[in-house]
Structure 1
């Protein structure tokens, strides 16, 4: 029995899917204690957009540590924080004509969501929050109340109140605009749905199964918020920081959220870091009213600044992500067409946040298990874990991306009982 078996809680999950002990990581590759290398199509559940131990970020962090830079600073001013704020303003806000205040919350995504919900209720003086079917926003109680997944909700042990779930784009099938229902509910005093303080939405539902909202649908959601005096919160924790091909996932839709939650790849190095972006007129907090001991992770400030300066000073990086996303989408379409029967499996998602939806979670699990046996780390998502989800590091080479997709193709063909059509023999 290993020390993990003896001492670690039964709540662990990823270790069950990938039962080895990892020792090193670089770029898009992990290495276990036996020296075996694994291609990483998980990327820390989206927290390693710039890959493992990115050398540019690593050098900046090591230099900062060696210079005895501040590590922990609560919310006190520091040079590292100052540099991060300047980088956000110059590299992200100004080029996009955005104006936001930045609230540093506790270090995880759910901390940012909790803060946003609390502030929205404070601003509007209402308790209700509207979220969407299959949405995932975290596992602390406020975030869990607006999360759809019953597996996570059922672990709460208490009732989850002050939240209403409405149909996401496409939830009712093609041809049904779910914003019509939402508008009707908000307009009818007898609908039984109290006017909310905010509507919170993911433009691409990562944990919910890679459901990508149509840009026109997002514009209509924003219009409903303006019509009914509701704040719009975009949860960009997984889909942001370049994952969909632009820094914010909502940029192509042309919407302007009142608040944005960011975490995961914001630090760029896998260090815990979360913020809420707030339109200045809604920053009505009193000093210390919402705090947290680890909202001053200066090491994360350092690596985040390095990431912004290196990857987001021009549009070259974004274009490279978009090129890889186009390649990924094409390959996934080919795999789904070749090894599914009459549309039984199909591609989903947007950007470098795409995958294949299978007929059941059981099939998808077999595919990911087969992939791991071929040294590819890839997970599932969706209400029944039916979607095999490619969440590759954004810096992955085209060669490694193609190689990983060859493994996915071989694995899919084997589980679907089909002959491999084009995947390279190397994936065998």
Structure 2
């Protein structure tokens, strides 16, 4: 359990931008990490159920990735190579082709974008407009796609959109995600009705962009039938299908891609967060070969393709995705998470389980209660965050490699924190 967390934060208050966020909820000064555990400068131990917001799916400092990276650096391997050919990029592409694309029958070009997920989203909508000659893009309620202006225009959250300061967030039509209008409303029918009406005022779309599991939006899960329905509508209206698999990808949903079980064939797929395997900046856009109409340097970036990330990503792919063993482990852990969150939900009247795979949580009904639970959990040594339109969902993004014993320990803390938050609310 953490000791006294008081520390001198004056340098942050004095010099760091007000945009900082996670450090406000988790103010410890973290010094080192291993697997699913964080350690502060004072030596306090925390269980990590955040994992770099799903950027550390394989845990902190995986020994095999670390060894490969240290070897690369010690031999003066390139750190920055623009989009030159390098041995490291070739090895990554071969591993990705052999272990991710080929077994799934996928024929995608891999476009190296800037280093974060929003860069991949920007490239996707830019290419969709270039291919189709259309401007309008259909995005969905509660979706989150990034903070640069194009990606932000796809994002639904009002506070995130407010960061644009009144700047233009146009050329996007927001449609209802599955379940957004209640369980009795078929949102596919609503979308079809609007797009099929020549007087709806909605321009023909260049693309549909959606997350199979809405991470920041509250762990809303699209059914396989709904995803197939979106693909059908896209083909009907001459639009492309872009799947944002940045947070739900790389195993987080229980399979490498979160849309696999739906059997759809997206035209583009965004990848980032855990793509490097080690927490290094790395984002890419998968593009169906026939749609890769870019001219050289028509979309680029100084840091497209991080050589250090190629090294660790290749190790991650070969270590975890060369066969079905890891996916089987994820299936077992998913059942454990569902059971553990049910224990939390049973304490709260009206609470609902959310999510899928290793991306699960519980809707506790209010952002105030969810925030109180997470704050108490942090005080007891667990880092866990909220999500949802009103921050009403307590969300677990523990590393996929977290041992069962640590998962149970973390959920014991969460249960204790929930009981404490409920008792405090009852006494108020």
Same fold at TM > 0.5? yes
Q: Deviations over 1:291-331 (max 9, x none)?
A: 00000310000000000000000011111111101110111
The equivalent of 1:79 in structure 2 is: 87
**Following TM superposition, by how much is the alpha carbon of 1:163 offset from its aligned partner in structure 2, in angstroms?**
0.3
Q: How far, CA to CA, are the matches of 1:380 and 1:415 in structure 2?
A: 15
The equivalent of 2:40 in structure 1 is: 32
2:234 paired with 1:225: yes
The equivalent of 2:299 in structure 1 is: 290
Using the TM superposition, name which of 401-410 and 109-118 deviates more.
401-410
The equivalent of 1:370 in structure 2 is: 376
Q: Give the match's secondary structure for 1:180.
A: helix
**Following TM superposition, by how much is the alpha carbon of 1:40 offset from its aligned partner in structure 2, in angstroms?**
0.1
Say whether the 8 Å CA contact 2:382–2:413 is kept in structure 1: yes
Q: How far, CA to CA, are the matches of 2:73 and 2:376 in structure 1?
A: 41
Q: How does 1:190-269 map to 2 (within 5 A)?
A: 190-269=199-278
Q: How does 1:173-188 map to 2 (within 5 A)?
A: 173-188=182-197
The equivalent of 1:350 in structure 2 is: 356
Q: How far, CA to CA, are the matches of 1:406 and 1:176 in structure 2?
A: 38
Match of 1:270 among 272, 275, 279: 279
Q: How far, CA to CA, are the matches of 1:274 and 1:321 in structure 2?
A: 23
Match of 2:158 among 150, 167, 180: 150
**Following TM superposition, by how much is the alpha carbon of 1:103 offset from its aligned partner in structure 2, in angstroms?**
0.5
**Following TM superposition, by how much is the alpha carbon of 1:155 offset from its aligned partner in structure 2, in angstroms?**
1.1
Say whether the 8 Å CA contact 2:205–2:237 is kept in structure 1: no
The equivalent of 2:412 in structure 1 is: 406
Q: How far, CA to CA, are the matches of 1:396 and 1:152 in structure 2?
A: 31
Say whether the 8 Å CA contact 2:88–2:307 is kept in structure 1: yes
Q: Give the match's secondary structure for 1:416.
A: helix
The equivalent of 2:5 in structure 1 is: none
Q: Deviations over 1:60-85 (max 9, x none)?
A: 11111111111100011100000010
Q: How far, CA to CA, are the matches of 1:268 and 1:175 in structure 2?
A: 40
Q: How far, CA to CA, are the matches of 2:99 and 2:179 in structure 1?
A: 34
Q: How far, CA to CA, are the matches of 1:70 and 1:297 in structure 2?
A: 9
Say whether the 8 Å CA contact 2:343–2:415 is kept in structure 1: no
Q: How far, CA to CA, are the matches of 1:413 and 1:254 in structure 2?
A: 41
Q: Give the match's secondary structure for 1:107.
A: coil
Structure 2's unaligned 5+ residue stretches are 1-8
Kindly report structure 1 stretches of 4+ aligned residues shifted beyond 2 Å: none
2:58 paired with 1:50: yes
The equivalent of 1:310 in structure 2 is: 319
Q: How far, CA to CA, are the matches of 2:84 and 2:199 in structure 1?
A: 48
Query: What is the TM-score when the length of structure 2 is the normalising length?
Result: 0.96
Query: What is the TM-score when the length of structure 1 is the normalising length?
Result: 0.96
Superposition RMSD in Å: 0.9
Q: How far, CA to CA, are the matches of 1:107 and 1:415 in structure 2?
A: 39
The equivalent of 2:423 in structure 1 is: 417
Say whether the 8 Å CA contact 1:76–1:296 is kept in structure 2: no
**Following TM superposition, by how much is the alpha carbon of 1:175 offset from its aligned partner in structure 2, in angstroms?**
2.5
Q: How far, CA to CA, are the matches of 1:320 and 1:222 in structure 2?
A: 30
**Following TM superposition, by how much is the alpha carbon of 1:333 offset from its aligned partner in structure 2, in angstroms?**
1.6
Say whether the 8 Å CA contact 1:128–1:163 is kept in structure 2: yes
Q: Deviations over 1:137-174 (max 9, x none)?
A: 00000000000000010110212100010000110111
Q: How far, CA to CA, are the matches of 2:41 and 2:370 in structure 1?
A: 27
2:389 paired with 1:380: no
**Following TM superposition, by how much is the alpha carbon of 1:334 offset from its aligned partner in structure 2, in angstroms?**
2.5
Q: Give the match's secondary structure for 1:185.
A: helix
Say whether the 8 Å CA contact 1:113–1:143 is kept in structure 2: yes
Q: How many residues align?
A: 415
Q: How far, CA to CA, are the matches of 1:217 and 1:100 in structure 2?
A: 23
**Following TM superposition, by how much is the alpha carbon of 1:93 offset from its aligned partner in structure 2, in angstroms?**
0.6
The equivalent of 2:4 in structure 1 is: none
**Following TM superposition, by how much is the alpha carbon of 1:228 offset from its aligned partner in structure 2, in angstroms?**
1.2
Q: Give the match's secondary structure for 1:402.
A: helix
Q: Deviations over 1:346-395 (max 9, x none)?
A: 11001110001112101100000000011000001111111111000000
